[in-house]
A and B are shown apart, each in its own frame.
Chain A
Amino acid sequence: MAKAMDYENLNENVKKCQYAVRGELYLRASELQKEGKKIIFTNVGNPHALGQKPLTFPRQVVALCQAPFMLDDPNVGLLFPADAIAKAKHYLSLTSGGLGAYSDSRGLPGVRKEVAEFIERRDGYPSDPELIFLTDGASKGVMQILNTIIRGSSDGILVPVPQYPLYSATIALLGGSLVPYYLEETANWGLDIVNLRQSVAQARSQGITVRAMVIINPGNPTGQCLSEANLKEILRFCYQNNVVLLGDEVYQQNIYQDERPFISARKVLMDMGAPINKELQLVSFHTVSKGYWGECGQRGGYFEMTNIPPKAVEEIYKVASIALSPNVPAQIFMGLMVNPPKPGDISYERFIRESKGILESLRRRAQLMTDGFNSCRNVVCNFTEGAMYSFPQIRLPPKAIEAAQKAGKVADVFYCLKLLEATGISTVPGSGFGQKEGVFHLRTTILPAEEDMPAIMDSFKKFNDEFMEQYEDHKGYSRM
């Protein structure tokens, strides 16, 4: 039989693309779980999988939208508060046939208007709903925008190292070039403008046209929150270099320190005034998956375009229309997220209690984890200022690196596999995110339940200290 499809004749770009978040470690963890081992999955920012409860109000509203026959039933008030009922009616009125009809390919106009209003409240500048597209998760939006930008391998996209590997995977799939810029671990994972310029210069010398720059703010996996000054620098840099700024702001609700609250790239851009505010091209991304909502399974997100010319917007719309429409329930989640219960609403007290509870706990867990890692031998961990992750540096002794090589594994993969086998803690090796040569990390989330944290950190410490005992020979370590 003629071979229809074998590994050799697959699209090369597919083969090149890697996504460590659900790669080797996760697959091994899943295998072990099947064998009956207790696994603590800290490989992905998936709060509900680790016991975080969904917020009550949005679930009430969406359930009512799913089964609108309930709205006509006199008994509905027995199960649902009046404001949830009113909200469900409101969102159903924005649809053209309920949750089961394709919406506008850009998302329901009414929800996009609510998103625009949210952005205006947040930033103090008006936002145009026509330039806001709802998507099945922010990831889809990122893929759509990168697909619009990347023409071929000589188009480069600036991506932070370490980065969330959606970017490297998508760039590989689309046949573009990833141009790395290194975040500085010793400066709390800050952005170094000199390094940025060097990266661009090097890329250009290789014949690459740098088209866009990705910033993840707050950062993933690093958690750093960019200051206003930082953002200004970045915007100026993009402006000078003719580069679109892609602002991944999905963790904007997850802030665990007070020195650097979240400021959107758009706000800073608008604050900078003419001419840059009318010329610098920016696409901003947000989601219902993170924050204190954590509704990953809904697949709800949006992107907002600033200063993208109308004809290009039309083309982006055209491609969106091929997928017909984003899923409607998630659009309602998005509406509810940008338009939550207000003081005076029946559900307000409960909503605030639930939200605050989650955010305050995340803040405590961020600290617990950072401190826990820092108390371990050969581990140095920057504080998680935001997002959902901890990214400790593990200084691996040379003997460990040798052992890894012998086992045919990258050093941090070797460490993480051993950690998994010993403790059931499933992490993602730093190599999945990118790191400086010879420096190793792992990424874990701060999401395990607060009451489980001390035991998890103890378990890690025990494993780590034994590992170091086994492989140390007091001669030297991987450098910072």
Chain B
Amino acid sequence: MASTPITIDTINPKVLECEYAVRGEIVILAQKIQEELKNNPNSHPFDEILYCNIGNPQSLSQQPITFFREVLALCDHPAILGKSETRVLFSGDSIKRASQILDQIPGRATGAYSHSQGIKGLRDTIAAGIEARDGFPVDPNDLFLTDGASPAVHMMMQLLIRSKKDGILCPIPQYPLYSASIALHGGTLVPYYLDEAAGWGMEVSELQKQLESAKSKGIIVRALVVINPGNPTGQVLAEKNQKEIVDFCKREGLVLLADEVYQENVYVPDKQFHSFKEVARSMGYGDKDIALVSFQSVSKGYYGECGKRGGYMEITGFSPEIREQIYKLASVNLCSNISGQILASLVMNPPKVGDESYDSYFAEKNAILSSLARRAQKLEDAFNGLEGVSCNRAEGAMYLFPRIVLPNKALEAAKEAKTAPDAFYARRLLNATGIVVVPGSGFGQVDGTWHIRCTILPQEDRISAIITRLTKFHTEFMDEFRG
């Protein structure tokens, strides 16, 4: 008897249902083309694939922050800390910081499982960093260090979602971790639409409307996801807006899930990042008033350490019974990777003025952030210069999300090819130029509108060439399909 218990027909249907376009179809095709180019460099009208689909800065030559890597290397191999030769290769303050960190780790053992919430001393450091940022105290016991922010998001979805009747309010467009995670945990995504015409702004009236609509369908809405700065949209919320959102959650009894992983990526002088914790506390709201989970990561910002998988969530406003359950969930996986934990503590407590490494640290940070701002502007201008394309300003994060008004002929061609029009465009773009973007349908968009998400991450000296290729492609595409 043939034994095939795992087949496409017998696997968990939630697995089948969930989608994640950031590494979806277009990317798989790009990888295939990349292989073809390796074997035959002349097989395509371009030399290389340009991955603009994923917020992965160091894969596009962004350099890590030297001080952070010094400390991490010393923590990985503490045997060299006492050696005189080490002072030749490493800065004095990185040696000092590594020693400090190792002192906080039981037995100085970075290879041991830690406390399931993360090493206490590192949580103390992160708590102090959050307090310095916001001006409000943080209890280190509210922190859960995780392998990137994504596992923390999954944990919350697991706790909140009991059945398909449980709904989570998510922005449209959204980062598809949320839609995928909700699908995997068997819940319902309740969309609220960001307003493209108003710079992707968020209105509480829209939240209210969607909440009521969901309720009328028998959905129990449990939480509100806000991504600030936004992904893919890049908008940075105004404080006034944030206050309205906090009040909304408090009033409606929703857990506020604040994805703040791009908090260090703000490119416009007229906007500032304020954490939802800061906003809530500044309104006089404490643990008894609102349940808030704030997510941070080492993957973005100016540090861009995606491959390290470091991050945390700060949970406030939950009863001891719930905190026990959250702890229990965290304990099944034992702990997050120690190196990532250390990095999170460095990100939240970087070199200060007067430290030996401060000047070089600041120069590196500044160079990266100002370059990101310039690239954001250049690409935004380029998109806005294309026929039928309008692109909102990237106030923050790492992406542009231009809208493309496709001519009818293109829509028909897409229909015939059985793909969404934005996927059709993205595929053509890839085949003509090697540029990989993610079709807007992967993030959600208002029906009948089409977008692509493109990162601002390619190296600055490549941007002009990319713009040239993109412009040429788009012109030819429009020439082909203009009615």
Binding site for B on A (CB under 8 A): 1-7, 9-15, 17-19, 21-23, 44, 46-49, 51, 54, 56, 59-60, 62-64, 66-70, 73, 75-76, 78-79, 95-103, 105, 136-137, 139-140, 143, 147-151, 166, 169-170, 173, 211-212, 238-240, 242-244, 275-276, 279-281, 289, 294-299, 308-309, 311-312, 315-316, 318-319, 321-330
Contact = CB atoms under 8 A, between A and B. Distances in A.
Contact of B58 (A5, A97, A280, A318): A97
A97 B15 contact: no
A79 B86 contact: yes
Given A297-B337, A330-B337, A281 B5 contact: yes
B318 A5 contact: yes
Nearest to B321: A7
15 contacts: A1-B250, A4-B222, A4-B290, A7-B321, A10-B159, A11-B158, A48-B110, A49-B106, A63-B77, A75-B85, A101-B56, A239-B3, A296-B112, A309-B8, A324-B148
Contacts of B12: 147-151
A23 B328 CA distance: 8
A49 B107 contact: yes
Contacts of B159: 5, 10-11, 14
A36 B89 CA distance: 39
A222 B254 CA distance: 46
B307 A2 contact: no
Contacts of A48: 107, 109-112
B315 to A, nearest CB: 10
Interface residues of B, number: 105
A353 to B, nearest CB: 15
B145 to A, nearest CB: 12
B158 to A, nearest CB: 6
Interface of B: 1-8, 10-13, 15-16, 18-20, 22-24, 54, 56-61, 64, 66, 69-70, 72-74, 76-77, 79-80, 83, 85-86, 88-89, 106-107, 109-114, 116, 147-148, 150-151, 158-162, 176-177, 180-181, 184-185, 222-223, 249-255, 288-291, 299, 304-309, 317-319, 321-322, 325, 328-329, 331-340
Given A70-B89, A150-B12, A136 B332 contact: no
Given A101-B58, A327-B339, A242 B1 contact: yes
Nearest to A55: B111
Contacts of A244: 5-6
A382 B110 CA distance: 33
4 closest A-B pairs by CB: A2-B253, A328-B307, A63-B77, A297-B338
A322 B150 contact: yes
A399 B184 CA distance: 49
Given A75-B85, A299-B147, A327-B309, A46 B113 contact: yes
A281 B4 CA distance: 7
Given A101-B306, A308-B6, A64 B73 contact: yes
Given A14-B325, A70-B73, A166-B332, A298 B337 contact: yes
Contacts of A211: 5, 10
Contact of A281 (B3, B57, B309): B3
Contacts of B8: 309, 311-312, 315
A407 B428 CA distance: 71
A5 B323 CA distance: 11
A76 B111 CA distance: 24
Contacts of A173: 158, 329, 332
B319 A7 contact: yes
B72 A66 contact: yes
Given A59-B79, A98-B64, A294 B6 contact: no
B354 to A, nearest CB: 23
Contact of A169 (B73, B74, B222, B332): B332
Contact of B5 (A17, A70, A212, A240): A212
A329 to B, nearest CB: 6
A322 B3 contact: no
Given A147-B184, A279-B4, 18 more contacts: A4-B255, A4-B317, A5-B255, A11-B162, A49-B112, A63-B74, A75-B85, A97-B61, A99-B307, A140-B333, A151-B10, A170-B332, A242-B5, A244-B5, A322-B184, A325-B307, A327-B307, A330-B337
A436 to B, nearest CB: 25
Nearest to B109: A48
A139 B88 CA distance: 40
A413 to B, nearest CB: 16
Given A67-B73, A243-B5, A7 B322 contact: yes
Nearest to A33: B106
Given A4-B291, A15-B325, A239-B3, A321 B20 contact: yes
A155 to B, nearest CB: 9
A370 to B, nearest CB: 25
Contacts of B255: 4-5
B334 A137 contact: yes
Contacts of A295: 111
Contact of A103 (B5, B6, B80, B307): B307
B15 A319 contact: yes
A66 B308 CA distance: 10
Contact of B304 (A51, A100, A147, A169): A100
Q: Which of B112, B251, B328 has the most CB of A within 10 A?
A: B112
A279 B1 CA distance: 9
A111 B186 CA distance: 34
A299 B113 CA distance: 9
Contact of B73 (A2, A63, A321): A63
A288 to B, nearest CB: 9
A79 B337 contact: no
B117 to A, nearest CB: 11
A343 B456 CA distance: 48
A98 B86 CA distance: 22
Given A7-B322, A297-B337, A1 B5 contact: no
A379 to B, nearest CB: 28
Given A309-B4, A325-B307, A49 B109 contact: yes
Contacts of A79: 80, 83, 85-86, 89
A321 B25 CA distance: 12
Nearest to A27: B327
Contact of A102 (B69, B307, B339): B307
Contacts of B160: 5, 10-11
A139 B322 contact: no
Contacts of A102: 54, 56, 59, 299, 306-307
Nearest to A84: B77
Contacts of B304: 100
Contacts of A299: 147, 309, 335-337
